[in-house]
A = this chain, B = another copy of it.
Amino acid sequence: MFRHPSDCRASGDTSTPRSPWESGTAMAGIKDVAARAGVSVATVSRVLNGHSGVRADTRSRVLSAVSELRYRPNAVARSLRTDQTRTLGLIISDVLNPFFTELARAVEDAARSRGYSVIIGNADERLALQDHHVRTLLDRRIDGLLVSPAEGDSVALREAALSGIPMVFVDRWIEGIDVPVVRADGRAAVRELVGHLYGLGHRRLAIITGPVATTTSNERVEAFRSALREYGLPLPEAYIGQGDFQTESGRRVTSAFFGLDEPPEAVFATDNLMALGVMDELRLRGLRVPDDMALAAFDDIAWFPHIDPPVTAIAQPTPELGHRAVAALTDLVEGRSADSVTLSAHLIPRRSCGEDERSRR
């Protein structure tokens, strides 16, 4: 933490500079302000916190002392005393995934408008890293925790929930930890996608899953499986590619698909990074979407319309997810209660699964 070296308090500033970055004014404390305004620190604190019962002229004397000294309250000290940091922690699974960065952005906006800052921890889909961040955030006494958990049984998260810190899950959640969940239900959209695929003539449909224990992955796989059943289509084990929501796994699974006697005609990547992976692999093999393999992805991102061919995707209401999550979390933090919320996702058909009826006329 930065503190000016020639730490001249109101008392005496005769000490000589001890550091290279000489020139700045000392960082003033509340005592300095009090001294200059000729009041006590209590009064200064009162005007700073907008308490009533301070005479108008006193108030203005304090205020001018504050601005003359460029005083800014030390948030660390304040937090220690008041037991609140006005900070929310956000743990996201992967910063490189545009879905999560859009989410983070929405979260930050919503938090700021409510007077909170947010500290983002990137779990990189790794349990250990996630738990590291959870603990660090807790050590810093953040007021509440927003998390999109990585796969696996997180001790830190379980302890956090037990400790009673306000917490809400966003996008993904963990069974057995009883906190509100803010998410989008993708099941209807997945069914719609399967219909779309079927309508385009595809019969051998495959899926690339996320990590086994993530709720989002499971939901997408289950919805896919049951939609296939509706259409009387099989879903052989070999067509369920085990991914991990990251690019490389999309590539690997695609490669495995081509090792099959009968590779799938269409593949559904349960997130956008894995879709990138399948495109990488296809390109490597000199193959084309959708002729050699049709492709659809969960999560719509800005680049998809420009991909060759434009990729059909399932879009989530990402910014709203972020806003609702923050609303729920601040409700908890401020002592109100909060419920889970479920929004819905929808299919955006483009051309990566083949041309639709109209365009082939």
Which A positions have Cβ atoms within 8 angstroms of B?
A: 1-5, 19-25, 27, 70, 72-77, 79-80, 82-85, 95-96, 98, 101-102, 104-105, 108, 112, 117, 119-120, 122, 132, 135-136, 138-144, 159, 162-166, 247, 276, 279-280, 283, 302-303, 305-309, 337
Contacts and interface: CB of A to CB of B under 8 A. Distances in A.
B2 A76 contact: no
A84 B1 contact: yes
Contacts of A138: 2, 72
Nearest to A124: B105
Nearest to A85: B1
17 contacts: A1-B83, A2-B144, A2-B164, A23-B164, A25-B162, A25-B163, A72-B139, A74-B139, A95-B105, A98-B98, A112-B132, A117-B136, A119-B120, A247-B302, A276-B306, A280-B305, A307-B307
A160 to B, nearest CB: 9
A294 to B, nearest CB: 15
B82 A79 contact: no
A76 B3 CA distance: 16
Contact of A302 (B102, B162, B165, B276): B276
Contacts of A108: 95, 122
Given A2-B165, A163-B27, A141 B76 contact: yes
Contact of A76 (B79, B95, B276): B79
